[in-house]
């Protein structure tokens, strides 16, 4: 789950990391008020979940509250990369002496959070790591033991930073690591962490991402502190109707799991496929043999007839779908006969002939004998486990293209 900059600032502030005296505003008047309170030059920043704000004109400087209000007015109406802003951040224009970088990410190989720090902040950290590796400090923290400040101190010191800067940067990085763990983040980044002319350190920009699986247990942060509504999920893209419908069918019935995606798919062959790994493999197999999938899907677990039917119907009702291929890797707890009933019913309920509409049915495994009885009755072409997933996909493609199978 992604956070807006104004939310990320709040998160680091709650963790005890110094931030500026910013204000989050949703109107020009609010922006004017905040600018007056700040009493000096300010920066107005669009609050969108997109990069490239500066380039798009979403970041402007203002010397007076009037100017701040005018910029805020414009930016509040400015669409950036398809996103409309939630509001604007009004920030005191900082007197920066030096910019640093601090972040915490997951190291999947070490299976521990990794702290990163650089005295070359403000720019792309991957670039810095490549061109100036001795300016990037790294260090893991334990998942179990409390995080002690010295662990962060070592990481900062590795970049050569010393003196009072070391002593100010250390608690920032340590607190960032603690908040990463406590709040189930997958990314906690402050860039730049600015050293101001008066020697203080502040987070000038912050970027946070929380693991979706943990959202349910971070209610205090999300609902109380940040006041984010439960249905405000900030997905990277807007789900299509197909995706939403399949999601609704899945949510309404706890038996088994279905998922559908069609972003980027425009073909004529609907795919009712599973499970996870099988779906990926089969989608590749269809495409690599010249087929044009209309969608991606996953069916798995122990689905009901209704759920299998629901998915198949949604796929069949997509624009341009002529036939569906029903294929899975060998199944252990998904019942072949139940899925067979579901996909055949979908055809019948839409007034379509199952034998014509289902290009191929390839699901070996539990209750397959019973499944074959049903499929044979309705004239559906089937494959058993001796036909590979690749071959089954190829037959489906051949069928829909009209070539002899």
Q: Which residues in 156-185 contact other proteins (CB under 8 A)?
A: 181, 184
Report phi then psi at 34, rounded to 5: -65, -40
* Helix, strand or coil, per DSSP, at residue 368: helix
Q: Which of 338, 380, 383, 400 binds other proteins (CB under 8 A)?
A: 338
Return the residue matching tokens 């007197």.
Answer: 95
CB closer to other proteins out of 21 and 217: 217
CB closer to other proteins out of 167 and 268: 268
CA distance 120 to 135: 7
CA distance 220 to 158: 36
Tell me if 201 sits within 8 A of 172, measured CB to CB. Answer: yes
275 near other proteins, judged by CB under 8 A: yes
Angle at 176 between CA 165 and CA 168, to 5 degrees: 15
Question: What is the nearest approach in angstroms of other proteins to the Cβ of residue 261?
Answer: 7
223 near other proteins, judged by CB under 8 A: no
Within 109-138, which residues bind other proteins (CB under 8 A)? 109, 111-113
- Fill in the DSSP letter of residue 221: I
Structure tokens at 59: 């970041």
In 275-342, where do the E strands start and end? 296-300, 323-328
Within 342-361, which residues bind other proteins (CB under 8 A)? 344-345, 348-351
CB closer to other proteins out of 80 and 104: 104
97 near other proteins, judged by CB under 8 A: no
CB closer to other proteins out of 21 and 385: 385
CA distance 130 to 26: 40
Q: Which of 217, 219, 223, 244 binds other proteins (CB under 8 A)?
A: 217
Q: Which of 9, 318, 341, 362 binds other proteins (CB under 8 A)?
A: 341
Within 182-201, which residues bind other proteins (CB under 8 A)? 184, 186
335 near other proteins, judged by CB under 8 A: yes
CB closer to other proteins out of 77 and 213: 213
Question: What is the nearest approach in angstroms of other proteins to the Cβ of residue 113?
Answer: 8
Tell me if 325 sits within 8 A of 280, measured CB to CB. Answer: no
Tell me if 304 sits within 8 A of 255, measured CB to CB. Answer: yes
Provide the CA 72 distance to its chain's centre, in angstroms. 29
CA distance 353 to 344: 9
Question: What is the nearest approach in angstroms of other proteins to the Cβ of residue 357?
Answer: 14
Question: What is the nearest approach in angstroms of other proteins to the Cβ of residue 391?
Answer: 7
147 near other proteins, judged by CB under 8 A: no
Angle between helix 336-349 and helix 368-377 axes, rounded to 10 deg: 20
Q: Which of 13, 94, 106, 154 binds other proteins (CB under 8 A)?
A: 106
To which H or E segment does residue 348 belong? helix 336-349
Length of the chain: 405
* Helix, strand or coil, per DSSP, at residue 95: coil
Q: Which stretch binds other proteins (CB under 8 A): 50-58, 66-74, 146-154, 272-280?
A: 272-280
Within 290-329, which residues bind other proteins (CB under 8 A)? 296, 298, 300, 304-306, 313, 317, 328-329
Return the residue matching tokens 């998942």.
Answer: 143
To which H or E segment does residue 62 belong? strand 59-62
CB closer to other proteins out of 163 and 386: 386
Q: Which of 263, 290, 356, 405 binds other proteins (CB under 8 A)?
A: 263
Q: Which stretch binds other proteins (CB under 8 A): 49-57, 154-162, 282-290, 318-326?
A: 282-290
Within 359-388, which residues bind other proteins (CB under 8 A)? 364-366, 370, 373-374, 377-378, 385-386, 388
**Which residues share a beta bridge with 274?**
328
51 near other proteins, judged by CB under 8 A: no
């Amino acid at each position: 789950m992604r956070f807006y900059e104004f939310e990320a600032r709040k998160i680091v502030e709650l963790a005890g990391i110094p931030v500026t005296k910013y204000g989050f505003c949703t109107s020009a008047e609010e922006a004017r008020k905040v600018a007056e309170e700040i009493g000096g030059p300010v920066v107005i920043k669009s609050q969108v979940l997109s990069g490239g704000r500066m380039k798009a004109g979403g970041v402007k400087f203002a010397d007076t509250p009037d100017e701040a209000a005018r910029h805020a007015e414009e930016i509040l109406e400015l669409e950036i990369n398809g996103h409309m802003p939630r509001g604007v951040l009004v920030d005191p224009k900082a007197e920066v002496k030096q910019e640093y970088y601090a972040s915490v990410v997951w190291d999947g190989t070490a299976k521990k959070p990794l702290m990163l720090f650089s005295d070359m902040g403000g720019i792309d950290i991957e670039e810095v790591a490549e061109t100036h590796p001795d300016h990037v400090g790294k260090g893991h923290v334990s998942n179990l033991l409390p995080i002690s400040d010295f662990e962060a101190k070592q990481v900062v010191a590795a970049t050569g930073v010393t003196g009072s800067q070391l002593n100010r940067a250390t608690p920032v990085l340590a607190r960032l690591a603690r908040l990463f763990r406590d709040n189930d983040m997958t990314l906690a980044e402050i860039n730049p962490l600015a050293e101001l002319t008066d020697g203080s350190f502040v987070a000038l920009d912050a970027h946070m991402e929380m693991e979706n699986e943990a959202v349910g247990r971070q209610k205090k942060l999300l609902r109380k502190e940040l006041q984010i509504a439960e249905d405000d999920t900030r997905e990277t893209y807007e789900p299509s109707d197909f995706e939403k419908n399949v999601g609704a069918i899945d949510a309404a019935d706890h038996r088994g799991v279905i998922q559908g995606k069609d972003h980027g798919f425009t073909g004529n062959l609907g795919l009712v496929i599973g499970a996870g790994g099988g779906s990926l493999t089969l989608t590749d197999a269809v495409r690599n043999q010249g087929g044009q999938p209309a969608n991606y899907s996953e069916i798995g677990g122990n689905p009901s007839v209704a759920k299998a039917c629901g998915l198949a119907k949604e796929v069949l009702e997509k624009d341009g779908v002529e036939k569906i291929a029903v294929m899975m890797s060998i199944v252990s707890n998904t019942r072949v006969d139940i899925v067979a009933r579901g996909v055949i019913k979908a055809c019948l309920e839409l007034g379509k002939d199952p034998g014509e509409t289902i290009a191929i049915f390839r699901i070996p495994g539990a209750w397959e004998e019973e499944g074959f009885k049903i499929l044979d009755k309705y004239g559906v072409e089937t494959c058993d486990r001796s036909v590979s997933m690749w071959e089954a996909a190829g037959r489906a493609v051949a069928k829909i293209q009209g070539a002899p199978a």
